């Protein structure tokens, strides 16, 4: 519930700062001191207060097998979200300190701008793919921010946000039975994708096969030399960076979590590694997003995606 709100906010901010390769966005439990020239951004929910008491209107109705329903009681509350920025200058030189402070202020500005507009401030960005997420964020708004001078070799800043949410225990009282088969609905995409396994146990992996994408790109205008087309592939998830699944094929791109994969004929095979059991939480699906790679290693035009269903496995 509250932990999932914290995790989702970490994922939102991590995705928003993905191009800032000197930045690592973590939850409060993963707090660590930054190395020289690096910055750690920590997301936490330090406090909460009552929004209203329980009444008959504060309930969530979920469909259950056989046409029946489960009613879950919702607790409405206000919460404070705290985002801490800590950067360590490259060295003690005043030029390095000033450069680090400017970099920190840029990251604070980018984060504040990201979290200020829709769909974050109306709560839609917090929606997850889980059928029973245990929470619903209704509003999220900036409260105040501060920037501190250098202390113990680091410079820090802080943003505080006020949110309104409803929370409820995950799970229903009735038995849900066992899923014995999946009947997929096929939707035409710009490209064709397929996974070797229909679902993946946490901690294991599968191949994603990308078809009808090949060709060459002009690599040298003066000689008309051409090179194979490259794809920029990444994992999109409700989980934060560092906890979500990864792509192990290809080479690192210019953005965090991005892999550059050279296309092949008749299909390009990309290896996906699912999140570890301890990181999975309520997440039951991740998406492999496929773009054309730009010459400088960034993601370009979006081509399509492949969904991978996740199974908790033993120990979850």
Residue 180 within a domain: no
Residues 202 and 292 both lie in one domain: yes
Residue 15 within a domain: yes
pLDDT at 173 over 50: no
Q: Which of 151, 167, 183 is the last residue of a domain?
A: 167
Residue 187 within a domain: no
Residues 12 and 136 both lie in one domain: yes
pLDDT (mean) for 218-223: 53
* Percent of the chain with pLDDT strictly greater than 90: 62
What is the tens place of the pLDDT at every residue in 14-33?
999 999 999 999 998 767 88
pLDDT at 184 over 60: no
pLDDT at 169: 85
* Percent of the chain with pLDDT strictly greater than 70: 82
Residue 65 has a CB neighbour count (10 Å cut-off) of 9
Mean per-residue pLDDT over the chain, rounded: 85
Q: Could you tell me the CATH number of the domain that includes residue 204?
A: 2.60.40.1930
What's the Rg (C-alpha) of the chain?
22
pLDDT at 68 over 60: no
Residues 158 and 199 both lie in one domain: no
pLDDT at 64: 53
pLDDT at 316 over 50: no
Place of tokens 């989702």: 8
Provide the number of structural domains found in the chain: 2
Q: Are 134 and 282 in contact (CB under 8 A)?
A: yes
pLDDT (mean) for 26-52: 88
Structure tokens at 207: 């191949």
Residues 57 and 11 both lie in one domain: yes
Q: Which domain holds residue 38?
A: 2-167
Residues 124 and 247 both lie in one domain: no
Residues 53 and 149 both lie in one domain: yes
Question: pTM to 2 decimals?
Answer: 0.72
User: What contacts 24+ positions apart, CB below 8 Å, involve 143-151?
Assistant: 143/80, 145/108, 145/112, 147/104, 147/105, 147/108, 150/89, 150/97, 150/101
Residues 7 and 130 both lie in one domain: yes
199 against 70, higher pLDDT = 199
What is the tens place of the pLDDT at every residue in 74-89?
889 999 999 999 999 9
pLDDT at 183 over 60: no
Residues 157 and 206 both lie in one domain: no
Residue 82 within a domain: yes
């Amino acid at each position: 519930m509250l932990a999932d709100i914290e995790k989702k906010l970490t994922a939102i901010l991590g995705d928003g700062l993905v191009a800032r390769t000197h930045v690592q966005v973590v939850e409060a439990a993963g707090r660590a001191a930054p190395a020289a020239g690096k910055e750690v951004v920590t997301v936490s929910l330090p406090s909460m207060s009552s929004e209203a008491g329980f009444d008959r209107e504060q309930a969530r109705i979920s469909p259950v097998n056989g046409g029946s329903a489960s009613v879950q009681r919702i607790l409405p509350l206000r919460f404070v979200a705290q985002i801490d920025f800590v950067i360590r200058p490259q060295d003690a030189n005043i030029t390095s300190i000033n450069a680090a402070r400017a970099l920190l202020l840029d990251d604070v500005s980018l984060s504040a701008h990201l979290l200020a507009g829709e769909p974050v401030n109306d709560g839609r960005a917090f929606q997850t793919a889980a059928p029973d997420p245990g929470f619903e964020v209704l509003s999220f708004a900036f409260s105040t921010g501060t920037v501190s001078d250098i202390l113990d070799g680091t410079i820090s800043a802080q943003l505080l946000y006020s949110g309104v949410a409803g929370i409820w225990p995950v799970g229903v009282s009735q038995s849900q039975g066992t899923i014995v088969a999946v009947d997929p609905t096929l939707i035409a995409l710009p490209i064709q994708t397929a996974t070797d396994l229909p679902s993946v146990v946490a901690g294991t992996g599968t191949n994603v096969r990308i078809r009808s994408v090949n060709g060459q790109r002009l690599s040298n205008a003066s000689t008309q030399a051409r090179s194979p087309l490259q794809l920029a592939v990444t994992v999109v998830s409700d989980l934060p960076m560092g906890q979500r699944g990864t792509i192990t094929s290809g080479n690192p791109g210019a953005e965090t979590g991005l892999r550059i994969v050279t296309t092949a004929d008749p299909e390009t095979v990309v290896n996906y590694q699912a999140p570890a059991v301890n990181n999975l939480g309520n997440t039951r699906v991740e998406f492999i997003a496929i773009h054309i790679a730009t010459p400088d290693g960034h993601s370009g035009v979006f081509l399509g995606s492949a969904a991978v269903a996740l199974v908790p496995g033993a120990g979850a």
